[in-house]
């Protein structure tokens, strides 16, 4: 994911330490920068199904309401009849009104197979937003969605670590 397009943005020191966070159900784990200490692992309801969910940022309220605070959301669940492409299409409907869609690429990391979409210029800022939707390589459940907001070069490094570390059971 290091090829995420970054335009001008704040030059900040790299994140030097990471911590593994786990959602409240114990289904999801992911490494995030230690600076992203505001964590919520409460399950969410999506389309009538309850799915495991974890969110992390330096400020979850700002992450949820602005394009200036980086963070991550990882959701995983057994959602019958839903494909990774449908998840990405649904996100595009929402994100496409505030971000510039850059395209969809295949995603595989050895454990998961799916696709990812990249968005730039979110909310008129330099923010980049990446959404991955995938299933285990064997085609089983759970379906996993990973969303990461990138605001600086160091967030691209965090994105790489998130992608290399997320696991959902």
Of 19, 12, 16, 10, nearest in space to 38 by CA: 19
Using DSSP's 3-state secondary structure scheme, residue 132 falls into strand
* Confidence category of residue 89, pLDDT binned at 50, 70, 90: very high
pLDDT in tens, 11-24: 788 999 999 999 99
Rounded to an integer, the average pLDDT of 88-96 is 96
Percent of the chain having pLDDT more than 90? 84
Structure tokens at 153: 């070069």
Q: What are the residues whose beta carbons fall under 8 Å from the beta carbon of 147, sequence distance 6 or more?
A: 72, 73, 74, 91, 129, 130, 131, 132
* Confidence category of residue 124, pLDDT binned at 50, 70, 90: very high
What is the reported pLDDT for 48?
79
């Amino acid at each position: 994911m290091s090829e995420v397009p970054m335009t001008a943005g704040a030059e900040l020191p790299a994140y030097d330490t990471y911590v593994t966070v786990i959602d409240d159900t114990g289904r999801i784990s992911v490494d995030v920068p230690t600076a992203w200490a505001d964590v919520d692992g409460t399950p969410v309801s999506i389309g009538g199904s309850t799915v495991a969910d974890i969110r992390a940022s330096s400020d979850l309220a700002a992450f949820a309401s602005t394009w200036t605070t980086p963070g991550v959301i990882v959701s995983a669940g057994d959602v019958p009849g839903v494909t990774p492409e449908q998840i990405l299409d649904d996100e595009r409907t929402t994100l496409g009104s505030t971000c510039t869609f850059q395209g969809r690429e295949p995603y595989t990391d050895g454990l998961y197979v799916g696709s990812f979409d990249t968005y730039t210029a979110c909310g008129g800022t330099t923010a980049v937003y990446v959404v991955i939707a995938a299933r285990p390589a064997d085609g089983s459940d759970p379906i996993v969605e990973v969303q990461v907001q990138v605001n600086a070069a160091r967030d691209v490094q965090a994105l790489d670590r998130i992608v290399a570390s997320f696991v959902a059971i």
